[in-house]
Amino acid sequence: MALSRIIKSNQILSKSTKLIPPNSSLLHSCKSPLFFPSNQRRPICAKHRNDNFLSSDQINISNAFISILIKHPFSPNNPELNNLVPLLTHKIVESVLNNLKNWRLAQQFFTWVSSLPGYKHNIYTYNAMASILSRARQNAQLKALALDVVDSNCSMNPGALGFFIRCLGSVGLVDEANNLFDQVKRIGLCVPNSYSYNCLLEALSKSNLIDLVETRLKEMRNLGLEFDKYTLTPVLQVYCIAGQFDKALSVFNEMLERGWVDEHVLSILVVAFSKWGEVDKAIELIDRMEERGMRLNEKTFYVLIHGFVRESRTDKALCLFDKIRKLGFCRSVSLFDVMIGGLCKNNEREKALSLYSEMKELGIDPDFGILTKLISSFSEEEEEMDRLLQQCWEYVGSQPKNLLFNSVLEGLVRNGSIDTACNLIQSVMGNNRNGGSVLVKYFLNEKEVVTLNTNSFTSVINGLLGAGKVDMALSLFREMVQFGCNPTLSHYNDLIDALCKLNRLEESYELLRQMKEMGLEPTHFTHNCIFGCLCQLEDVEGAVELVRKMRFYGHEPWIKYSTLLVKNLCKHEKAVEACKFLTDMAQEGFLPDIITYSAAVNGLIKIKSVDKGLELFQEICARGYCPDVISYNILIKALCKAKRVAEAEGLLNDMMLKGLVPSEVTYNYLIDGWCKNGEIDRAMLCLSKMFGKEREANVITYATLVDGLCNFGRPDDALKLWDEMGRKGCIPNRIAYHTLVNGLCKCGRSSAALVHFNEMKEKEMRPDSYIYIALISAFLSDTNLPCVLDMLKEMVDVGNLPDPLDKNFPIIRGAICKLLEDARTSFSIKHLIAEGKIPDVSLLEGAEGRHKPSI
């Protein structure tokens, strides 16, 4: 939706674009245009009564307290303090707190005063303390203060409540703010007004709690509290943060109609447009702001420029950059850096150079980052590269030229010109003198020699590794060593990591050997790269041997690689080897975690060793491991599949005794196991247990039970369960419908099956071929040949008729024969045969005979 359709010259969002109607439950129409009169600014906090509200005697008493507190370490037994106790009032306590700079001292004073006989803090002293703690970001103490203000039954006015809420919200204690609000309402300590709610909405919006914001808005409407500009601003903000474009525009419309749109509100929306990638809408909105005499602040301009450059809309970013200049805002090096970088990335090099020239005219020195972005955006063949390098060379002056050289290399790598960077460093080393290269001409200047260092090679090697050019990186690394630059631990680690990811184990070991010769000790990262490679290669012996060496260095093997090795071995049916690996690891002092052991248990089960899996499971439990739900599910599934459902249920009880909560998957395995064991009542009992544990049955649960009930001739119970599934809000899927229709057909309930079959099609679920076969078989059993004919025609129409060699085709052939014999259907079936839509069964009998294998 173009913003021109949303924004008019004198109205930012037209009424036609409103997404929430005037009688909406969310934005209820207000009785008056503003809750606060237009000439009255909304207070941003409860008004503190400062020294202007104190008498001269009270000011003297307050200053006396402060003087004693800051001169000596705090002591509740200080006689000077105790002499002043009879003079204490709430106003004095508040004044003292507001004038203490140290939050600890303020809290000590606050706590001491609260312990004095006959004294009880009021909401203003609480708010003074809350303000101090929030500014110091002492969240734990502020939480405790929020609890104390309620426990002390401190009454408060709506403005004071709002101030405390804002203190909590400013440090992210949104839950505490929300709870405090509810508690003071419930106890009757305060009757919140619009201001109190606005403060809470502000806190909630900062944490993106949309649901809570909407709930509080509804509360305000239900209480008859009027919305104002400060009610809807946080609502707009929370929708913008969450990217809910339509709702944000709707709230904006409401604010516009009430005349509540100002620079801050427009800034929220324009920044949101930028974040949503709607750059044109953001620019148009800025123009409308200026028409109404509003303008963005400096910070918002910077945010927008960064956002526009990120969206590759440098044209619009330049417009804002120009506005900043006209408004007289400061244009920093970092802002020029963002603009020039964006222009270079978009190949708008002339504009980038123009900004570079403007920087120099303004006396702003460009850093190496800007220079290298400019240099790396030009190809070596262009004359502009020569001119730019000349300017950069003059700018660098007497500074070491290798700093510029390294920055150029980094810029080339960052912009993807890795081959150019590689050729340049080769040329400076003297291995590839390309006289025609502009870069080489400057950096091989005989008067000013560039000194290569380790950093020169690092960026290029990393760039080559990042581009997957491992061999080129290795070659440059060796040349670096020959050139006399010392490799770092980071070089070795990065190269070993890259080689290990390619399973080039021998080369990794060779680098490890060289590394040790250089006096560099391998780190846990070095060893784990190689360990991961060994695990990937399923080299159990090599992995265990390396683990022994790692133990010497105090390095622990990463569990993810141990798990990978176990899974890979189990996948190739080497579960026994996997278990041996785990035993060896444990002997070396490195105990695998439960995930690794679970993978081994699963592997043993897959090679038909359920008992071995159980044995390993019991062994790891005896070692003190606490298996999780997934571990139990692996065994429960295996036992149910092996028809050992009673043992599986024993494991269910065991896991619950250990405090684990079985998942829906756990119950589904058991229900399926009981059904397949022919114990449908125990399966239904399992469903009851599931509900008792507040576990929601899913469509798999219901489909399994429906299938079980139909298999044991209980179609009525199956249909009751199906209805219950619908009542509980569990929507049946295609497989569930297949299960029900097939089950009803097996029970001779063809009419009910047909009803659900048609219901399935109404929901645009395509039935499988076997469902048509099941219905045809059921109708044949009922001698309902017209329905058989209808099913057959539908199978032909949807292309579901099985091939003559399909195992289900004999049922189709039998149906065709029956239809041919019946006077009601013979004409239609002969017509289908004549059209070639169904086979002539008389011809098929000979063909099938020829396909039968000889005995």
CATH of 262-366, one of 3.40.50.300, 1.25.40.10, 1.25.40.80, 1.10.150.80: 1.25.40.10
Longest dimension (CA), the chain: 121
Q: Is the pLDDT of residue 42 over 50?
A: no
Tokens 């803090």 correspond to what residue? 121
Whole-Å CA distances, 821 to 489, 787, 815, 816, 826: 88, 15, 10, 9, 6
pLDDT tens for residues 616-632?
Answer: 777 777 777 778 888 88
Average pLDDT value for residue range 488-492: 94
pLDDT of residue 1: 35
What is the per-residue pLDDT for 475? 93
Q: Which of 211-225, 252-266, 494-508, 758-772 has the lowest mean pLDDT?
A: 252-266
Q: Is the dihedral of CA 366, 369, 375, 379 positive or negative?
A: negative
**pLDDT (tens digit, 9 = 90+) per residue, 374-399?**
776 766 555 666 666 676 666 665 45
pLDDT for the residue 27 = 37
Return all residues near 730 (Cβ < 8 A) that are at least 6 apart. Answer: 696, 697, 698, 699, 702
- Quick one: pLDDT at residue 436? 46
Q: pLDDT above 70 covers what percent of the chain?
A: 87
Determine the 3-state secondary structure of 377 from DSSP. Answer: helix
Higher pLDDT, 776 or 565: 776
User: Which of 487, 476, 405 minimizes the C-alpha distance to 444?
Assistant: 405
Render pLDDT for 541-557 as a digit per residue (tens, 0 to 9).
888 888 888 888 888 88
pLDDT at 121: 92
**pLDDT tens for residues 492-505?**
999 999 999 999 99
Domain boundaries, given as residue ranges, for the chain: 262-366, 405-486, 768-842
103 or 446: which carries more pLDDT confidence? 103
Q: Judge contact between 740 and 748, C-beta under 8 A.
A: no
Q: Is 32 exposed, middle or buried (0-12, 13-18, 19+ CB in 10 A)?
A: exposed
Q: Which helix (H) or strand (E) holds 757?
A: helix 750-762
- What is residue 122's predicted lDDT score, i.e. its pLDDT? 92
- Residue 434, pLDDT score: 52
As a whole number, mean pLDDT of residues 294-320 equals: 79
pLDDT band at 28 (very low <50, low <70, confident <90, very high): very low
3-class SS of residue 398? coil
Side chain identity, residue 676 = K
First to last CA, the chain: 74
| Average pLDDT, integer, range 3-8 | 34
The whole-chain average pLDDT of the chain stands at 81
pLDDT at 3 over 60: no
pLDDT attached to residue 437: 63
pLDDT for residue 738: 94
Q: Where are the alpha helices (DSSP H) in 588-644?
A: 594-606, 610-622, 629-641
Q: 273-277, 388-392, 465-469, 496-500: which range is least confident on average?
A: 388-392
pLDDT in tens, 88-146: 889 999 999 998 888 988 998 999 999 888 889 999 999 999 999 999 999 999 999 99
Cβ contacts of residue 544 below 8 Å, gap of 6+?
A: 581, 584, 585, 588
pLDDT surpassing 90 at residue 271: no
Q: Binning pLDDT at 50, 70 and 90, where does residue 610 land?
A: confident
Give pLDDT, residue 431: 75
Query: pLDDT tens digit string along 645-691?
Result: 898 888 888 888 888 888 889 899 999 999 998 899 999 998 888 88
What confidence score (pLDDT) does residue 378 get?
67
Top pLDDT among 564 and 152 is at 152
